[in-house]
Amino acid sequence: MTSWSPPDLGWSEDPIIRRMADELRSTDILNALNAGEAQHVATLCERRFLRPGEGLFTEGDQATHLYLVLRGRLNVLVRSPDGQANVVVGEVGAHSLLGEMAVLESVPRSASAVAIDSVELLQLPGEAFAQLVNAGHAAAFAILHDLQQTLTARMRSLDVRVDAVFEQSEPPPIQPTADPEPTLWHLIAQQS
Amino acid sequence: MIDASLLHNIPAFQGFDDRARLAVSAMMRLHRVDDGHVLIKQGSRAGGAFALLRGEVRVVRDLPGGRSVDIGSLEEGQLFGLLSCIDGIPRGATVVARGNALVGEVPREAMGELLQGRTTIALRFQVAVCRTLFREVRATNLRLAELAAVPDSEMQTVDLEPLDEPLEDFSGSLEPL
């Protein structure tokens, strides 16, 4: 007699995958996923640990993964204009996404990320995320929604900083940047 | 509704097929505006998001100190007015036509449907929105870095350790298929 196999919807008997799926669903970003959806995403993720002071990625690197922080905090840093120092521009804590912007556009990292304390995270390859988007997976909607909110808040914050600059001086107008090279967005589009 | 072919030159919609362009164009209103026409008023919550189809618009900010500054122009194909549709907070700047312009507006109600929707069209639109916001953030960050907006005295610096392993590079697989 042939035993029944679950349909290929990401449902898994693997306790490691099931644990990872539970961790995904414990975050605000992915808590709307059902068990099968979360387990599907979990099969695409790898767990990673960082020691305090250890780098996750470096400004200028090619972006390969996006990350979901489970535990611990990381500093986000950019090189100072003179290139002599790394300036902390933000901090990312548990249940936050990190590194998603550069993965989405397949452009080099615009900042570095370094563990402040012991960090545990899940990393999702950029190509796997493209597959989730192409499939209209619930995780893609959830990640895009979080990204919208994050980017909107970041733009609001930047507006305040731009105001401060303009209050102090008369800088030239902000110019739009050139269209980047072919990106992951193309891959998403082509597979639709 | 506007002519869907007008959306061909919107970079943020480059992943859209004809069906997606048609669906979004069906939600849009066309505005032909003259020089000086105010499309978005800083502090307002009115209106939706816009695509600049023809012409040029300029972005003006009223600073807390009372001064107004021209912070740049938008070119054909750019989306604008997204932030307030996403977070519901009043507009952060005024957008004014420079010369005659043709603009497509996605009304706020339709923006809500697209941003919250779970259809393929909505997903494509959400990707386009993230892409636009990402580029705005990156461009503004670059501009701020050029202006050295962070004074040395306010900088918190950290020494970076080298990574243990080189990062995988899959960029070669991301060429257009």
**Hey, which residues does A90 pair with through a beta bridge?**
A76
A125 touching B (Cβ < 8 Å): yes
Q: Any idea which residue has 């164009």 for tokens?
A: B25
| Burial class of residue B124 in the structure, from the number of CB atoms within 10 Å of its CB (0-12 exposed, 13-18 middle, 19+ buried) | buried
Minimum CA–CA partner of A79 in chain B: B157
Sorted by where each begins, the domain ranges of chain B are 4-149
Structure tokens at A30: 């992915």
Please give, rounded to a whole number of angstroms, the shortest distance from the CA of B37 to a CA of chain A. Answer: 20
| Burial class of residue A185 in the structure, from the number of CB atoms within 10 Å of its CB (0-12 exposed, 13-18 middle, 19+ buried) | buried
Q: Residue B8 pLDDT more than 50?
A: yes
Contact B169, A64 (CB under 8 A): yes
Measure CB to CB from residue A185 to each of B15, B63, B147 and give the nearest one: B15
Structure tokens at A129: 């995320």
Minimum CA–CA partner of B78 in chain A: A176
A145 vs A131: CA distance, rounded Å: 17
B60 vs B73: CA distance, rounded Å: 9
Task: Give CA separation, A177 vs A98, A180, B73, B139, in Å.
Answer: 23, 8, 12, 6
- Complex ipTM > 0.85: no
Domain boundaries A15-170+181-190, CATH class? mainly beta
Please give, rounded to a whole number of angstroms, the shortest distance from the CA of A147 to a CA of chain B. Answer: 7
pLDDT tens series, chain A, 192 aa: 444 444 455 556 788 999 999 999 999 999 999 999 999 999 999 999 999 999 999 999 999 999 999 999 999 998 877 777 888 888 999 999 998 877 777 888 888 999 999 999 999 999 999 899 889 999 999 999 999 999 999 899 888 888 887 777 654 444 433 333 334 444 444 443
Please give, rounded to a whole number of angstroms, the shortest distance from the CA of A20 to a CA of chain B. Answer: 23
Residue B89 C-beta-side C-alpha neighbours within 13 Å = 10
Domain boundaries B4-149, CATH class? mainly beta
Q: Which residues of A touch B171 (CB under 8 A)?
A: 62, 106
pLDDT at A104: 77
Q: Residue B50 pLDDT more than 80?
A: yes
What average pLDDT does range B109-138 have in this prediction?
A: 92
One-letter amino acid of B42: Q
Nearby residues of A142 by Cβ (< 8 Å), 6 or more positions away = A29, A30, A32, A33
Distance of CA A187 to the CA centre of its chain: 18
- Best residue in B59, B154, B171 for a mutation probing chain A (most A CBs within 10 Å): B171
DSSP track, chain A: -PPP---TTT----HHHHHHHHHHHTSTTTTT--HHHHHHHHHH-EEEEE-TT-EEE-TTSBP-EEEEEEES-EEEEEE-TTSS-EEEEEEE-TT-EESHHHHHHT-B-SSEEEESS-EEEEEEEHHHHHHHHHTT-HHHHHHHHHHHHHHHHHHHHHHHHHHHHHHH--PPPPPPPPPPSS-HHHHHHHT-
The pLDDT tens digits for B82-97 are: 999 999 999 999 999 9
Q: Which residues of B touch A110 (CB under 8 A)?
A: 138, 141
Question: Cβ–Cβ of B171/A106 closer than 8 Å?
Answer: yes
Phi, psi of A75 (to 5 degrees): -85, 140
Sign of CA dihedral B114, B120, B125, B130: positive
pLDDT at A170: 53
Question: Cβ–Cβ of B61/A85 closer than 8 Å?
Answer: no
Measure CB to CB from residue B127 to each of A58, A62, A188 and give the nearest one: A188
Q: Which residues of B touch A183 (CB under 8 A)?
A: 174
Task: Pick the closest to residue A66 from A25, A27, A109, A31 (CA basis).
Answer: A109
- Cα distance between the two ends of chain B: 32
Please give, rounded to a whole number of angstroms, the shortest distance from the CA of A1 to a CA of chain B. Answer: 41
Q: Pairing relation of β-strands B94-106 and B38-40?
A: antiparallel
pLDDT at A3: 43
